[in-house]
Amino acid sequence: MTSQRQLLQKFSEPVPRYTSYPTAPHFHEGVDAQTVSTWISGLGAGKTLSLYIHIPYCDRLCWFCACHTKHTLKYEPLAAYLESLKCEIETMGRLVSRDVVVTGLHWGGGSPTMLNPGDMHRLMGWLRAAFNFAEDAEISVEMDPNDLSEAGYDALAEIGVTRASLGVQDFDRKVQETINRLQTFEQTADVIAAMRARGVKSVNCDLLYGLPYQTIDTMAKTVADIISLRPDRIALFGYAHVPWMKKHQALIPQEALPDADERFRQMSHAAAMLGEAGYVAIGIDHFALPGDTLAKAQRGGRLRRNFQGYTDESADALIGLGASSISQLPQGYWQNMPAIGEYRRQAEAGKLPVVRGIALQPCDHVRAFVIERIMCAYGFSACELKSRFAGDADPVIAEAEAYARANPDLCRYDRFGFHLKNEVFPFARSVAAVFDTYLGHGKGRHSSAV
């Protein structure tokens, strides 16, 4: 059996998180608004759609954050941005057939809960007017406890939120001060209690390991505190230190960051605590109670992965609205203009604010499926691959067989397909990278694999 240290050494190279394939660094300007309009016209009766809304503002900037967001203490920029967002929603709504049913909606950011209650209602009204929502559509919102009031809680419940998503990271005061994210356990508990009291049954919390000054002890204390609140889902992400991409991360002292061995110990200890508390491991970084829909999706082989991470959402397409948001249709991916000023100009002119994307080739579809299966199920069925993709699957199957022969301590290939060994599960990103033909072409820098 390969030791932990050997695995860490073997998989030490940074690799993508594989929330898409091909990954975003390989998007290009050859995909434009006209391309996207043509793709959208292919969505018709019987198709389902998931929507993502990006609110790129925060009233404080967390130094660990790699999201596309801006700091503001004034509401005016947010109010102006919403008017532009309304224009994009209306433009997209005219393109998407009313026969397409929206089964899921996620508000992300930034901090969507910076919106005042009236604007929460307005935004939801624009969306429902532009798109055909299923009665049981799941609506999730990322929440910052520092932004919320009783009126805010009421508004979220009134617009139909079904899942509350809270970033926690770590409750240790020194860690919080170093990453500029002050949030007490009591604040977090109050948000969860307030949303549950209003009928929101599903709650998920995000934790980070690998933060500055973080130790196994501080991690364990945070995990124990979160377990006591019994959220339905818990995400356990490794902090991605990418100061070349997010300049504010340079404010975090590099010497205070744990090394690869310590990061792995933190992750492993937290995962063991969650398992002992009854949470089921989902993919490489999620945990869920057995009755949660994510755990059910994993048991049923329906677990998916997209730009929002692991999901039980099975929609045919994902459309992102707002600056920098990314969309996925069967034909390919596209990203909106990240610069807020240019995004607003294009949206208000009635244009789709597309800045780049990529059209999927037959071989991309095969490799996207294989990479997603490795990330979700630690392997793939050769029979299913052949059934879906016929002869296009043959080169990838040959690669899988060759990799398994060369690395019998990591994986196996048999009549059922390709499978990672249990101790390699945390390194699924690195194994998935084996099947990535774009990797190494000089585009993109990535974070640590663990």
399-445: per-residue pLDDT in tens?
999 999 999 999 999 989 999 999 999 999 999 999 999 997 655 54
Q: 87 and 190 share a domain?
A: yes
Interval 17-34 mean pLDDT = 95
In a domain, 11, yes or no: yes
pLDDT at 449: 55
Q: 11 and 67 share a domain?
A: no
In a domain, 357, yes or no: no
Q: Whole domain around residue 23: which residue ranges?
A: 17-326
Is residue 194 pLDDT above 70, yes or no? yes
Q: Give me the helix-helix angle, 362-377 and 382-389, nearest 10°.
A: 150
pLDDT at 68: 85
353-383: per-residue pLDDT in tens?
999 999 999 999 999 999 999 999 999 999 9
pLDDT at 11: 87
Q: Are strands 326-329 and 354-359 parallel, antiparallel or unpaired?
A: unpaired
Q: Give me the helix-helix angle, 216-229 and 260-276, nearest 10°.
A: 30
149-187: per-residue pLDDT in tens?
999 999 999 999 999 999 999 999 999 999 999 999 999
Q: 122 and 97 share a domain?
A: yes
Is residue 448 pLDDT above 60, yes or no? no
Q: Say what the pTM is.
A: 0.93
Instruction: Please report, for the domain that includes residue 406, its CATH number.
Output: 1.10.10.920
pLDDT at 304: 95
Q: 290 and 439 share a domain?
A: no
220-238: per-residue pLDDT in tens?
999 999 999 999 999 999 9
Confidence of residue 19 (pLDDT cuts 50, 70, 90): very high
Q: 321 and 405 share a domain?
A: no
In a domain, 344, yes or no: no
Distance of CA 148 to the CA centre of its chain: 23
Q: 268 and 407 share a domain?
A: no
Q: 184 and 224 share a domain?
A: yes
pLDDT at 51: 98
Rg of the chain over Cα atoms, rounded to whole angstroms, equals 21
290-326: per-residue pLDDT in tens?
999 999 999 999 999 998 889 998 899 999 999 999 9
Backbone angles phi, psi at 256, to 5 degrees: -90, -5
Q: 373 and 321 share a domain?
A: no
Q: 130 and 153 share a domain?
A: yes
Half-sphere exposure of 349 (CA within 13 A, CB side): 11
Tell me the residue type at 255: E
| Owner of token pair 């979160």 | 226
- 196 is written with which tokens? 């549950």
Is residue 352 pLDDT above 90, yes or no? yes
